[in-house]
Structure 1
């Protein structure tokens, strides 16, 4: 089995320096780099299966976005936003492409897709191909409220089993998975405190930007995201879970007809978001990114 190396890079926010951890698979000398970025409460470990499947073609890099997993926390949680994450990814890309000077391909799930939209829209962007996994510029308000409420709950569990049951319950929209897969999906985002209790892996400060959002700021954010999407020029694949409550079928259809005119694939019997753990989903990414 191909194993990943765990590395880190130092990044900066207006509040100071922080470390961003990332997993790396494949040949370090390979100039073809795929950056895989997770959703708002997930981690780079989500891409273990996808990375192993593509590591023969790519050097695959999957960061833990600031405030999650192995990465450091921001001193001011108000900076947990897409602009800060884009800045961190530019630093990461500079690190992993230092010897080649080439661009990267991008796979972004949910929040990772929003970061990808923002980065791919910029003049002289390093992004060559873009996969957006169940995300677009228009986000369902009810789904955002659900996610914001979920993020801000400082929950503690007496056992791993109790914590894993919670993760499984709130992740049912991921679709069907085996018991072993559910165990990994839970263990990747849980950690044990010194007092023995189990908690989620991220900074509770992530909820602050959600709580401070207003209808006016949400409207402005949506307008900026559509402007960014329309500026993208690279080949783009949009994946939608059939039952997604975050990316509507209507929004997906609009994205297929404007901006980069994304190729659209809908995955049956899945909501938000497809995990790309299974071979049939991995094949969708492989076909778009590699052509085989």
Structure 2
């Protein structure tokens, strides 16, 4: 049975249009809300959502300035608090009062903030290669590409560059996998140029935030998850999410499962066998 997939645009409170991919909107039970990483978008969750449909509703949100969402004319608005406000506006419009949140990287930080500020909203959390302590190696690597506008003349060139930049993170990915990865990150213009799909202002915002990144203490946000079921996914080769951080998270949370994803770095794609098995186990507990 093929599930219904709706492409929606929902206005944020300031009027900016946010893109939503709403898969199986009529499915019963607790929906899953997917929050992407810093520069990523709904395409990271399309295969995941299609696999769960039609039994489970999956809502994927493009944050402002990313994917199909509008770009903010003021780059200083690219902040986690603004993104939390946008998420709440989307959930209100969709009449979702409780959900499982799947947060990749920055989306996982947003998930923890939601748990701290909207406790009844979070039925469970899946944190994809993110925790309350961030490794500066990964932050510096991310800063190296998010602040630059990347343009390629062909998909072959884009894929080759991606293989080179992510060689230390990703292993055992075939040519089709690398192409699929590239097509989640980049888009092709009418002129045939291949470029990353986010507002360059996001790079300015990230550079601003990097000044205080080392001093941030996110453990109180993590602790706000309380006793809600938690699945922690960590890429084996991640340079942002240290194994010691993941182990401490699993130790201090009363209902957590920690899964290490082989041959992946920051971040796992969610289609790996260990991801699929652990997510299915996790969601079976939250009907």
* TM-score, with structure 1 as normaliser: 0.89
**Is 1:166 the equivalent of 2:161?**
yes
Matched, 1:154 2:149: yes
Residue deviations 1:199-237 (CA, integer Å, cap 9, x gap): 11111111112222355x2244x21x2111112221111
How far apart in 2 are the matches of 1:159 and 1:65? 27
Match of 1:185 in 2: 181
Per the alignment, residue 128 of structure 1 pairs with: 123
Which residue of 2 is the match for residue 71 of structure 1?
Answer: 69
Q: SS state of the match for residue 188, structure 1?
A: helix
CA shift for structure 1 position 31: 4.6
TM-superposed CA distance for 1:29, in Å, is 5.2
User: CA 1:272 to 1:180, structure 2 compared with 1: closer, same or farther past 3 Å?
Assistant: same
> Any idea what SS the aligned residue of 1:287 has?
helix
Q: What residue is the counterpart of 2:242 in the other structure?
A: 248
Is 2:170–2:237's contact at 8 Å kept on the other side of the alignment?
no
TM-aligned CA deviation for residue 130 of structure 1: 0.2
Q: Answer whether contact 2:27 2:56 (CA < 8 A) is retained.
A: no
- Which structure 1 segments of 5+ residues have no match? none
TM-score by length of 2: 0.90
CA distance in 2, matches of 1:195, 1:123: 45
Structure 2 match to 1:10: 11
- The aligned length equals 283
Shift of 1:261: 5.7
Q: CA shift at 1:11, angstroms?
A: 0.6
Partner in structure 1 of residue 206 of structure 2 = 210
CA-CA distance at 1:120 after TM superposition: 1.5
Q: Where do 1:76-87 residues align within 5 Å?
A: 76-87=74-85
- Aligned residues of 2:261 and 2:272 also touching (Cα < 8 A): no
What SS class does the counterpart of residue 139 from structure 2 fall into?
helix
User: 2: CA distance between counterparts of 1:17 and 1:168?
Assistant: 38
For structure 2, the residue ranges without an aligned partner over 5 or more in a row are none
Q: How does 1:102-141 map to 2 (within 5 A)?
A: 102-141=97-136
Deviation at 1:5, TM superposition (A): 2.1
Q: Is the 8 A contact 1:232 1:260 kept in 2?
A: no
Q: CA RMSD in A?
A: 2.2
Larger deviation: 252-261 or 157-166?
A: 252-261
How far apart, CA to CA, are the structure 1 residues paired with 2:29 and 2:9?
A: 19
